[in-house]
C-alpha cells in the first residue's frame, strides 16, 4: 500500500469493529492532545475541512562506510570466528558441541567489543522498571512498542535498556587494503 493509499479517503465506510477501534483511539488522543481535541471539535461544528495528514518526509540518508563495517566483521571473524560459526550447518552437532562453540564465539565477540568500542546503556533503570517518558524524549534512542496512542508523557515498562557507542577505536586502514577480505584463506605448507 502506498502512502497516498494510506492518506486517501476509504471507498467504503469502515465496519463496526474498525469504527470502535477508531473511537477508542480518538478518545484517548483527545484526552492527551488539546490540539487534536480542537480539530475534532472543528470537524463536529463543520468549521474545519477534512484533510489528509501531510506526508512525512523521511530524513535524508547518509551513506554508510562499507570499509568500517567490513573491518568490524573481519575483527569479529579473527577473534571470534563469527563468520565460520554462522556459516556452519549446525544440524549434525549436539547441543553440547554447539554450546562449546558458542562460548568461544561469545568470548571473542566480547574481546572485540571491549577493544574497539566503549558502550553505555541508554537507560540506567533496571529492565522491568516502570518509567515515564516526558514530552521531548529522544525518539532516536527510545523505541515505543505495544499500544502507542496519544502523545507524551508515556508510562511503560522498560523491556530493554538499549546501548549507545560512546567511543569507537577501529584501526586505520592502509591505502590498498582490501576490506572485503574478511579472513584470508590459509594454505599449510
What does the alpha-carbon distance between residue 66 and residue 2 come to, in Å, rounded to a whole number? 30
User: How many helices (H) and strands (E) would you count in the chain?
Assistant: 6, 4
Q: Would you say 83 and 73 are in contact if contact means Cβ atoms under 8 Å apart?
A: yes
Q: Would you say 183 and 78 are in contact if contact means Cβ atoms under 8 Å apart?
A: yes
Residue 6 has pLDDT above 50, yes or no: no
DSSP string, 109-143: HHHHHHHHEEEEES--SPTT-EEEE-TT--TTT--
What does the alpha-carbon distance between residue 96 and residue 42 come to, in Å, rounded to a whole number? 66
| Closest C-alpha among 81, 73, 71 to residue 106 | 81
Could you tell me which residue, 49 or 121, shows the higher pLDDT? 121
Mean pLDDT of 71-98: 90
Could you tell me which residue, 52 or 56, shows the higher pLDDT? 56
Q: Is the pTM of this model over 0.85?
A: no
Neighbours of 82 (CB within 10 A): 20
User: What percent of the chain shows pLDDT beyond 90?
Assistant: 43
Domain limits, the chain = 13-54, 66-168
User: How confident is the model at residue 12, as a pLDDT?
Assistant: 66
User: What percent of the chain shows pLDDT beyond 70?
Assistant: 87
Amino acid at each position: 500500500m502506498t502512502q497516498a493509499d494510506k492518506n486517501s479517503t476509504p471507498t467504503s465506510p469502515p465496519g463496526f469493529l474498525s469504527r470502535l477501534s477508531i473511537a477508542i483511539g480518538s478518545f484517548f488522543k483527545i484526552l492527551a492532545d488539546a490540539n487534536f481535541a480542537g480539530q475534532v471539535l472543528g470537524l463536529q461544528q463543520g468549521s474545519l475541512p477534512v484533510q489528509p495528514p501531510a506526508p512525512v518526509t523521511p530524513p535524508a540518508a547518509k551513506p554508510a562506510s562499507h570499509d568500517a563495517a567490513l573491518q568490524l566483521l573481519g575483527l569479529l571473524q579473527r577473534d571470534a570466528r563469527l563468520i565460520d560459526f554462522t556459516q556452519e550447518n549446525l544440524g549434525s552437532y549436539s547441543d553440547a558441541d554447539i554450546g562449546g562453540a558458542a562460548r568461544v564465539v561469545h568470548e571473542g565477540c566480547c574481546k572485540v567489543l571491549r577493544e574497539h568500542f566503549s558502550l553505555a546503556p541508554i537507560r540506567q533503570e533496571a529492565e522491568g522498571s516502570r518509567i515515564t517518558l516526558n514530552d521531548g524524549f529522544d525518539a532516536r534512542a527510545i523505541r515505543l512498542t505495544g499500544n502507542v496512542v496519544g502523545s507524551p508523557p508515556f508510562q511503560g515498562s522498560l523491556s530493554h535498556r538499549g546501548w549507545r557507542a560512546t567511543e569507537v577505536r577501529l584501526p586505520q586502514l592502509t591505502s590498498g587494503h582490501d576490506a572485503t577480505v574478511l579472513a584470508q584463506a590459509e594454505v599449510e605448507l
